[in-house]
Homo-oligomer: A and B are copies of this chain.
Amino acid sequence: MIPFNKPHLTGKEVHYMYDAVHTGKLSGNGKYTKYCQEYFQQRYGFYKCLLTTSCTDALEMAALLLDIQPGDEVIMPSFTFVSTANAFVLRGANIVFADSCADHPNMDADLIEALITPKTRAIVPVHYAGMACDMDKIMDIAQRHGLFVVEDAAQAVESYHTDRSGIRRPLGSIGHLAAFSFHETKNIIAGEGGMLVINDERFAKRAEIIWEKGTNRTAFWRGEVDKYGWVDVGSSFLPSEVTAAFLWAQLEALENIQQKRLEIWQQYYHTLARVEACGIALRPVLPSWATNNAHIFYLICRDTAMRAQWIEKLKAKGINAVFHYISLHDSPFYRDKHGDRPLPHSDTFTDTLLRLPLFYGLEEEDVAKICGVLEEVI
C-alpha cells in the first residue's frame, strides 16, 4: 500500500511537545510560538509573523486587517481551496474569479486588470504547488490601482520568486500580507496550523490585536498599556504551545525535508518524460521566475477519462492518487453568484489534474512502481 500522503516526523516533535507540556505554558504565544515566528522572520525576512490555528485563519485575519466590507470585490483564482474564498466571503466580499494560465494552475496575471472595478480591494494570488505566480505583473497592477495583495502561500514554504531586476525573494514576502499552512499534508507540518505574514508594517499593530481576540493584551505584556481590554474585532487565532512545539521540531529539519522531497519530485519528473512524450499527459511547467519546493507532483492528463483510468489502475495496486480542486466558480455555493463568465483553463485543471503520492517516506522504488503503473497505459 502506498498512501497519498504520510506525515513525516523528525523525531523531535514529541520531545518538544513534552517540554511545552511540562513547562506548564500550554496556551498560545509562549516560547515555541516565538521560536517559530522568529525563525520565519529571520530566514525569509518577513516583517512580522503570527502563528495561527490554520492557514484559513491566517486568511481570515488578512481579510479583517484589510477591513473588507460587504460588497467589496476580491480577485483570486477559481482553482484553489475553499478557504482562499471563504475568508473574504465571511466579511461580505464578492469573489471575482480569474482563470488559470493555459499551462499552469496559477492565476493568469494578464487577465486580472480587466476584472478590476471601483469596488475591487484586493488580489489574492495562490502559489499553486509552491510555484510562484507572476508577481511582477501582479504587484504592478496592484500598485497602479491601489489594491492590496494577499499571497495565499499555503503550499509555498521555502520557495522563491525572481523579479525582473533579478532579485530573488521568498514567497510570502512580496504581497502586503501572506498566509502559510502547516496542515499535515504540507511540507512542514503541525497537524493543523498556519501563519500570517505581515510585510506592510502599517498592519503590524492591529494584527496583534485581532490575533488576541480583539484585545491589546500583547501590548499589555510588553508593558505598553497598564490594563488590557476590548479595542477591536478579533478572534482566537493563536495556536497552543503544543502545536508550536511540534512545528518547531519540523522547522529544525526544514532543509533535510526539502532535499528529500525535491529528490522524489525530480525522480517523478525524469521518469515520466516517457509518459509526456506519448502525449497522454503533461508534467508540471515551472515558470521562469519560480522555484520548485516539491510540494506537489502532478500530471495534466489528456482528459478526465485518462485520469479516472489511472486512478483506478493505481488503486488496484494499492496506490492512492487523488485529484483536486473543483473550481470554486462552479461550486454549488458560488455558481449562481459567479454567473456564466467562462474560466476554461480552471475547468481543464479541475477535470484533468492528477496528484501523485509525495511524502518524505516515499522510497525510490515506490516512485518507480507508481511510474510503472502509469506507463502501462502507453
Contacts and interface: CB of A to CB of B under 8 A. Distances in A.
Interface of A: 6-7, 9, 13-14, 17-18, 21-22, 24-28, 53-57, 60, 70, 81-83, 85-87, 89-90, 92, 183-185, 189-193, 213-215, 227, 229-236, 238-243, 246, 326, 328, 331-334
A233 B192 contact: no
B233 A26 contact: no
B326 A82 contact: no
**Pairs A-B, 6 closest by C-beta atoms:** A191-B240, A56-B236, A26-B191, A54-B236, A230-B331, A192-B240
B56 A191 contact: no
Nearest to A329: B230
B331 A227 contact: no
Contacts of A27: 183-185, 191-192
Contacts of A54: 53, 235-236
A246 to B, nearest CB: 7
A352 to B, nearest CB: 15
B242 A242 contact: yes
Grouping DSSP codes into helix (H, G, I), strand (E, B) and loop, the A interface class, with mixed when no group exceeds half, is loop
A318 B49 CA distance: 34
A230 B86 CA distance: 9
A26 B184 contact: yes
Given A86-B235, A230-B332, 16 more contacts: A7-B26, A27-B192, A55-B236, A56-B236, A82-B213, A83-B213, A83-B236, A85-B230, A86-B213, A90-B233, A191-B242, A191-B243, A192-B238, A227-B326, A229-B333, A231-B333
Contacts of A233: 86, 89-90, 333
A213 B6 CA distance: 22
Given A191-B26, A331-B229, A242 B236 contact: no
A229 B332 contact: yes
